[in-house]
Structures are given as structure tokens and as C-alpha cells.
Amino acid sequence: MKRERLVRMAFAALIGLIMAAVIAWMTIRHDQRQAAGVATNVAPASIGGPFTLTTHDGRVVADTDFQGKYRLVFFGYTFCPDICPTELQTIAQAMDLMGEGGADVQPLFITIDPARDTAPVLAEYVALFHPKVIGLTGTAEQIAAVAKEYRVYYARSQGEPDPTQYLMDHSTFSYLMAPDGSFVTVFARGTTPEQMVEAIATHRSRGR
């Protein structure tokens, strides 16, 4: 009887130890991942860069045409069923919150689906969100180049043979670039308009 109880207690202790070890391991892994996330934010200088693209109203523009303006940059595509509309809505709300104070903030929507997102298609789409949003498209090569600069991943989703109906897989970060074109910060999906406004205000208060 006594021995049985001892065995049970030892067993319970062992389970406890294993659980503690698992929790410790999970915590360490979580911290490592966070550290990795921080590390990618520590090397921001290499995010962004020069580009030549076509606006939704057919003008050829370069990154330098937005010199002197904050840029809220989002990569997506007009056929996107959920994420892109949500993120563009967030950017539009941030613009509304800033009002006149956002006169020097330029939202840019860069398509990662240039095959379907021609300038007229983009024009119709961006108008749904905010009059200040500029849609940008280009050749497959131009889009690949700018996506690479911003570390944006995108790929046509497999399994949809219809060339008008396919979906795109793509990363869903929004980028805040400073008036000199340098990288300020990246917003993960789910960032609120208030947080975007705050990030711009914080950068302003530090002086350019």
C-alpha cells in the first residue's frame, strides 16, 4: 500500500518535471522567434529601394517622385477576396484620421498580380478605398524587382487553371517609408489605423 503511494507520487513528480521542461522549452523557442523578429527590424536599411512603375492613371513614376512624402506601401492584388481589402481599408482609415495632417503621407498599393491588374483595373479598385491611394503596376520584371526590394513574397496559387479566377499567395505587411525614402517600420496584418497614425507621429516628433 505504502509503496504503491510512493510510486504514484514519484510518477506525478515526473509528469510535473516533464511539463515544466516542455513549458521552458516552448518559452525559449518563443523568445528566440521574437528575437528573430526583432533582428529583422534591426536591419531596416535594406528594405525598399528604387523602382519604376505605372500609376493607375497611366503615368510612369519612380520612387523619387514621392520624395518628401511619407509612404504607406502595401503589396496586394485587386482580385484578393479578403486580406487586401481589409488592409487597404485600414490604410484609408489612417488617412481619414490624419486628415489635413496627412497631406504629406502617400499611400501606395503595388500589385503583385500585374497580369490582371492593369492600370484601369487598379484605378477602379483604389477608388473604392481612398482618393489618395495610388495604385501601381508594371511589367512582371518591374514588379518582381520592387517586391524583392521590400522582401515581399508572392506566388500564384496552384490548382486554379482558369486564368481569370486564380488566387495569389502573398505576404501581407504594410511598410512605412520616411520622406527621404528610407524604411521606418513594418506593420503586420491586424495593425489598427490608430497604430499607423501613431507610428507616423512618433517619427515626425523625432525630427527628420
Residues that bind Cu ion (CB under 5 A): 76, 80, 83-84
Nearest approach, Cβ of residue 194 and Cu ion (Å): 22
Closest CB to Cu ion among residues 96, 169? 169
Nearest approach, Cβ of residue 151 and Cu ion (Å): 16
Nearest approach, Cβ of residue 79 and Cu ion (Å): 8
> E-assigned strands of 120-191?
134-137, 154-156, 168-170, 174-177, 183-187
Pairwise CA distance, residues 31 & 28, whole Å: 5
Closest CB to Cu ion among residues 80, 94? 80
Cα 79-62-192 angle, rounded to 5 deg: 50
**Of 204, 173, 186, nearest in space to 98 by CA:** 204
Instruction: Name 177's bridge partners.
Output: 71, 183
Give, in order, the Cα–Cα distances in Å from 54 to each of 128, 153, 158, 172, 174: 19, 21, 28, 21, 20
Q: Hey, how many other C-beta atoms are within 10 angstroms of the C-beta on 116?
A: 16
Question: Is residue 123 within 8 Å of 57, Cβ to Cβ?
Answer: yes
Give, in order, the Cα–Cα distances in Å from 159 to each of 76, 84, 167: 20, 21, 9
The residue whose Cβ lies closest to Cu ion is 80
Nearest approach, Cβ of residue 89 and Cu ion (Å): 12
Nearest approach, Cβ of residue 168 and Cu ion (Å): 7
Closest CB to Cu ion among residues 83, 144? 83
Closest CB to Cu ion among residues 63, 113? 113
Nearest approach, Cβ of residue 170 and Cu ion (Å): 6
Closest CB to Cu ion among residues 80, 126? 80
Closest CB to Cu ion among residues 29, 189? 189
Instruction: Name 183's bridge partners.
Output: 177
